[in-house]
């Protein structure tokens, strides 16, 4: 009997292009299946050139992976000894191997989070799609449906993953699934901070639509890491979804999701926290006083603080500023939007006999600011400005 998915299986198998994989299907034990994101993305025609490959094999996944790593010269990583999961990394490919949970592939798939993630491709002589929960129908209707509430509670990170899939796929959370997430959101506090951080990074790098933000507010997904000081940002957030995505706009999303304390407790780096604090400071300041009321010093400091992350600030600006600012930011030679001293610290030390230290740093900043506002045009003029400033500010003269 021909399965209703036979033609779809052939098409999916072709799109996955196994001949380019770093392993051969013949390397896998009988009864193996490809599961997870690569199957889902293949059915959605969204496969990357080297998709992550997740395999379920009947037994001994760690032992099998270690043996296979030697054969294909891959890096072996033991991910979870208790659940028998390992990873191989080779030539830009990531391959995960997990021991089948339960007596059959069906048992394994029924323990997963969402129906769109519970579709398998059995790697038999004739590869065949296996979809015991109806995940393919969900792909067609663009819905995210939980297999069961219990499955979400078994690993509460799945609550976060449901929201992340909504962001990445532009799908809708099914009504009952939304209620499952909302009911159990407090259980996220039992998840390791590093795991939550990884989901958040995927969320902020995804393209959002406004329904994403409305769902986030309804779920209060990260309330344990948000101190309630984002109200003024929330008032402007809807405008972000009406604008085109910009490079670096992930930071705008990050400060809408998490407080500075939340970033710290979720193990974000010092650099990420500093950049977020700077952006949050300038968003609040501009919301309160307006761009036109910033002093010369404040405007210069804004571009020093946010040179890398200005696209995120632009999302919060009125249109009359946004387009002009983006155009100027895209010009690397713009002296205000990309502040830099025309003279190096080494040259200034040599010519003006200034020691390394805070004074030199202040002089470099002064020169950067004067250049930003067009107060000199040649290096010789810059050197004269530096001489004058040094005479007026050096404690040694």
379-393: pLDDT as tens digits = 999 999 999 999 998
Residue 238 predicted with pLDDT over 60: no
Alpha helices in 44-126 (DSSP H): 61-72, 105-110
Helices first, then strands: H and E counts in the chain: 20, 9
Sorting pLDDT into bands at 50, 70 and 90, what band is 231? very low
DSSP state of 339: -
Biggest CA-to-CA distance, the chain: 96
Q: In whole numbers, what is the pLDDT of the chain averaged over residues?
A: 91
Residue 394 predicted with pLDDT over 90: no
The model's pTM: 0.84
Order the strands of the 33-35 sheet from edge to edge. 75-80, 85-90, 93-99, 53-57, 33-35, 120-122, 128-130
Residue 115 predicted with pLDDT over 50: yes
Residue 125 predicted with pLDDT over 70: yes
User: In the prediction, which pLDDT does 244 show?
Assistant: 59
Residue 208 predicted with pLDDT over 60: yes
The fold for domain 144-221 equals: Hydrophobic Seed Protein (1.10.110)
Residues with Cβ within 8 Å of residue 289, at least 6 apart in sequence: none
Looking at 216-220, 241-245, 280-284, 353-357, which range is the least confident one?
A: 241-245
How many whole angstroms from its chain centre is CA 360? 38
Residue 102 predicted with pLDDT over 80: yes
User: In the prediction, which pLDDT does 232 show?
Assistant: 47
Q: What is the mean pLDDT of residues 107-121?
A: 97
Q: How many CB atoms lie within 10 A of CB 333?
A: 7
Chain segment 29-64, per-residue pLDDT in tens: 999 999 999 999 999 999 999 999 999 999 899 999
Beta-ladder partners of 120: 35, 130
Residue 396 predicted with pLDDT over 60: no
Looking at 22-26, 276-280, 351-355, which range is the least confident one?
A: 351-355
CB burial readout 370-396, b (16+ within 10 A) else e? bbbeeebeeeeebbebbeebbeeeeee
User: In the prediction, which pLDDT does 345 show?
Assistant: 95
Residue 25 · residue 18 · CB < 8 Å: yes
Chain segment 326-384, per-residue pLDDT in tens: 999 999 999 999 999 999 999 999 999 889 999 999 999 999 999 999 999 899 999 99
CB burial readout 217-254, b (16+ within 10 A) else e? eebebbeebbeeebeebeeebeebbeeeebebbbbbbb
Residue 71 is encoded by which pair of tokens?
């054969």
Domain residues of the chain, as ranges? 6-141, 144-221, 345-393
* Domain 144-221 in the same topology as domain 6-141: no
User: In the prediction, which pLDDT does 239 show?
Assistant: 55
Alpha helices in 247-378 (DSSP H): 250-257, 260-265, 270-289, 296-305, 310-314, 319-329, 345-352, 358-372
Residues with Cβ within 8 Å of residue 81, at least 6 apart in sequence: 62
Residue 174 predicted with pLDDT over 50: yes
Q: What is the mean pLDDT of residues 231-243?
A: 52
User: Collapsing DSSP states into helix, strand and coil, what is residue 361?
Assistant: helix
Residue 168 · residue 202 · CB < 8 Å: yes
Sorting pLDDT into bands at 50, 70 and 90, what band is 243? low
Residue 393 · residue 362 · CB < 8 Å: yes
User: In the prediction, which pLDDT does 87 show?
Assistant: 96
The fold for domain 6-141 equals: Beta Polymerase; domain 2 (3.30.460)
User: In the prediction, which pLDDT does 282 show?
Assistant: 95
């Amino acid at each position: 009997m021909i399965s209703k998915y036979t033609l779809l299986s052939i098409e999916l198998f072709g799109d996955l292009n196994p001949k380019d994989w770093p392993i051969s299907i013949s390397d896998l034990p009988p009864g193996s299946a490809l599961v997870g994101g690569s199957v889902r993305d293949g059915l959605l025609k969204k496969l990357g050139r080297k998709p992550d490959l997740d395999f379920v094999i009947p037994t001994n996944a760690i032992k099998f992976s270690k043996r296979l790593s030697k054969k294909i010269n891959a890096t072996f990583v033991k991910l979870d000894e208790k659940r028998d999961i390992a990873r191989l990394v080779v030539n830009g490919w990531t391959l995960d191997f997990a021991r089948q949970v339960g007596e059959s592939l069906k048992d394994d798939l029924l323990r997963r989070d969402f129906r769109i993630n519970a579709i398998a491709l059995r790697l038999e002589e004739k590869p065949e799609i296996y979809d015991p929960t109806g995940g393919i129908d969900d792909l067609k209707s663009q819905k995210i449906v939980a297999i069961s509430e219990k499955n979400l509670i078994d690993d509460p990170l799945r609550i976060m993953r449901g929201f992340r899939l909504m962001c990445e796929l532009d799908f809708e959370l099914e009504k009952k699934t939304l209620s499952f997430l909302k009911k159990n959101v407090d259980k996220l506090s039992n998840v390791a901070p590093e795991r939550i951080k990884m989901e958040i990074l995927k969320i902020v790098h995804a393209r959002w639509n406004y329904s994403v933000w409305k769902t986030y507010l309804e779920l209060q997904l990260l309330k344990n890491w948000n101190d309630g000081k984002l109200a003024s940002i929330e008032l402007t957030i809807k405008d972000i979804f009406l604008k085109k995505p910009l490079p670096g706009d992930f930071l705008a999303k990050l400060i809408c999701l998490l407080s500075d304390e939340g970033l710290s407790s979720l193990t974000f780096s010092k650099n990420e926290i500093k950049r977020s604090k700077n952006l949050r400071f300038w968003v609040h300041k501009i919301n309160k006083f307006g761009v036109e009321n910033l002093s010369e010093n404040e405007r210069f400091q804004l571009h020093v603080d946010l040179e890398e992350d200005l696209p995120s600030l632009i999302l919060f600006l009125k249109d009359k500023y946004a387009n002009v600012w983006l155009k100027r930011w895209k010009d690397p030679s713009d002296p205000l939007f990309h502040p830099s001293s025309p003279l190096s610290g080494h040259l200034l030390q040599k010519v003006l006999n200034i020691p390394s230290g805070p004074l030199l740093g202040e002089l470099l900043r002064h020169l950067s600011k004067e250049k930003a506002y067009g107060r000199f045009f040649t290096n010789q003029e810059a050197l004269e400005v530096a001489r004058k400033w040094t005479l007026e500010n050096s404690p040694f003269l």
